[in-house]
Structure 1
Amino acid sequence: MQTVIVDSHNEVLLYWIREYCKHKMPLVVVRIDRHHDMFSDCPRLPAKEGRNIFDYFDRMMPAIYEYARRRLNEGNFTCPAFHCGILGSLYHFDPRKEKIDAYGRVFREEFLDAPKTRIKSSYAGGKRIDLMEWDGASTRLRKQNGKLVPAPQSIGVRAFEVDLEESSFPVVIGFDLDGLCTTDERDLAKGAIEKRLDRVKSLLECISAPVLACIARSQTPRAYVPPDLVDELQDAALRLLEMKCQTHYALPIATTGSIREAFQAG
């Protein structure tokens, strides 16, 4: 399994597309994250109808990289992945909670209730602007921060495990380090990060053969993870991936004890 490290989480779109083209089928994403990253109103990918989508994406990788970095943000990059069929379902786990939020689910060889999108067109200065948004006609939406996002299905870890056991779709792990700690959590109780790591470990044990793991450091455009802890948290995340997912990444040395010490020192 390949492991990649990015800064802003929206940069993972490029790697999702690479795996989509490699396997020629939609991905199942398991997201470990404080935030759902399911906002929309993002610019449309420069794709045209009738193209061989895999060949098209292969040729457009440099443009897609710039699109992901400059035209998307850390809160809306999932929407174009669903829109283009790159994702079939997404399971979001915040280690602060017990349940998993499922945006679509895997049922053997198909996906059920995946959020649907549509194109919203407007004109400014005589120029047409196409944005992707969630389709409220076919997807149940809820309002958050004044925006509409898909309403997930809340499931337990056992249901998540069964979903993946019966599926042959490629599984990708997305690990945003703010799932372990955010900049507004300086008053965490002793051992809180270790408990979150244990919950992530239990979740990873349900995934038998992921094809890719992406770690987001979340330092720009603003820091969601404490800058003085981000390297320690990254090391802890890499260690979990190495133990449970057989990653080939060369790991630096770190311990959860050093994370706790950094917190106490802060």
Structure 2
Amino acid sequence: MKIVIVDSHKEVLPHWIREYIARKLPLVVLRIDKHHDMFSDCPLLPAREGRGIFDYLDKMMPVICEYTRRRLNEGNFTCPAFHYGIVGTLYHFDPRGERIDAYGRVCNGEFVDAPRTRTRSSFQSGRRVDLIEWDGERTRLRKQNGRLIPAPESIDAARFESDMDESRYPVVIGIDLDGLCAIDDRGWTEKEIEKRLRKARRLLECLSAPVLACIARSQTPRAYVPSELVDELQEAALSLIAFIRLQSLPQDPFGRPSRRDTARLRS
């Protein structure tokens, strides 16, 4: 399992894309985060010009890195990942609560009810810009802060574990440190942070062989995590990932857990 540490959470997108290219399969994302990061209105990448998606994305990586830095923000980077088929489903867990928000599910080994996108044209400073937005005709949406985002399905840990049992897709972990402690948390205590870490660990234990783990420090362009805690929280997140790495199972050539080894462990 690769481990990547970024600052702004949007910087995980190129790493997701590299895994998608390497595995030739959409990703299942488990995000441990205070925020859903499911806003839209992001620009399209340049036209594909008939090339296959994997070849196109591979050749476009320098452009994608620049696109991520300049054209996306920490609240909308997930939308293009769904639009280009990089992410097949996303499970968001804020450890302040108990439920998981599922943006799509893995059922019987297939993706179901993943949020769908569409494009629209807008004019900015007299120039036409093609944007990606959520498709309200094919996806149930809800309004937050005056903007539309997909309405997730709320599931418990048992359903999440069942989905993971059925999945044969590569899994990536995303831990935004504000999921453990955010700058606007009032009256937080070490005991509360430890409780959130335990909840996160219970979900991570449902994963048999994640291929990538990304930690977001979330200090710029706006600080979401107290600066005096960020290093300590990063070490705590790395300890969680180290635990998962130790329990990871052998993988097949596509980076997915071996079904035979999974069965052997459970028996």
Under a length normalisation based on structure 1, what TM-score does the superposition of the two structures give?
0.90
Give ranges in structure 1 of 5+ residues lacking alignment.
249-266
Q: Which moved more, 1:117-126 or 1:210-219?
A: 117-126
Instruction: Spell out the pairing of 1:144-159 with structure 2 (5 A cutoff).
Output: 144-159=144-159
Does 1:221 pair with 2:224?
no
Measure the CA separation in 2 of the matches of 1:124 and 1:238.
42
Q: Which residue of 2 aligns with 1:169?
A: 169
C-alpha RMSD over aligned residues:
1.5
Under a length normalisation based on structure 2, what TM-score does the superposition of the two structures give?
0.90
Measure the CA separation in 2 of the matches of 1:47 and 1:111.
26
Number of residue pairs matched by the alignment: 248
| Secondary structure in structure 2 of the residue aligned to 1:191 | helix
Say if 1:3 and 1:247, in contact at 8 Å, map to a contact too: no
Deviations 1:56-97 (A, max 9, x none): 111111111111111100000000000000010000000001
Q: Which residue of 2 aligns with 1:193?
A: 193
Give ranges in structure 2 of 5+ residues lacking alignment.
249-267
| Secondary structure in structure 2 of the residue aligned to 1:29 | strand
Instruction: Spell out the pairing of 1:31-42 with structure 2 (5 A cutoff).
Output: 31-42=31-42
| Secondary structure in structure 1 of the residue aligned to 2:106 | strand
Say if 1:201 and 1:240, in contact at 8 Å, map to a contact too: yes
Letter in 2 for 1:16: W
Instruction: Spell out the pairing of 1:37-52 with structure 2 (5 A cutoff).
Output: 37-48=37-48, 50-52=50-52
Q: Runs of 4 or more off by more than 6 Å in structure 1?
A: none
Q: Quote the offset at 1:187 in angstroms.
A: 1.3
Measure the CA separation in 2 of the matches of 1:194 and 1:224.
19
Q: Which residue of 2 aligns with 1:8?
A: 8
Say if 1:102 and 1:152, in contact at 8 Å, map to a contact too: yes
Does 1:133 pair with 2:133?
yes
Q: Quote the offset at 1:126 in angstroms.
A: 5.2
Measure the CA separation in 2 of the matches of 1:50 and 1:217.
38
Q: Which residue of 2 aligns with 1:69?
A: 69
Letter in 1 for 2:223: A
Measure the CA separation in 1 of the matches of 2:171 and 2:122.
36
Say if 2:48 and 2:56, in contact at 8 Å, map to a contact too: no
Measure the CA separation in 2 of the matches of 1:22 and 1:221.
30
Instruction: Spell out the pairing of 1:180-259 with structure 2 (5 A cutoff).
Output: 180-189=180-189, 191-246=191-246
Letter in 1 for 2:73: N
Identical columns (%): 68
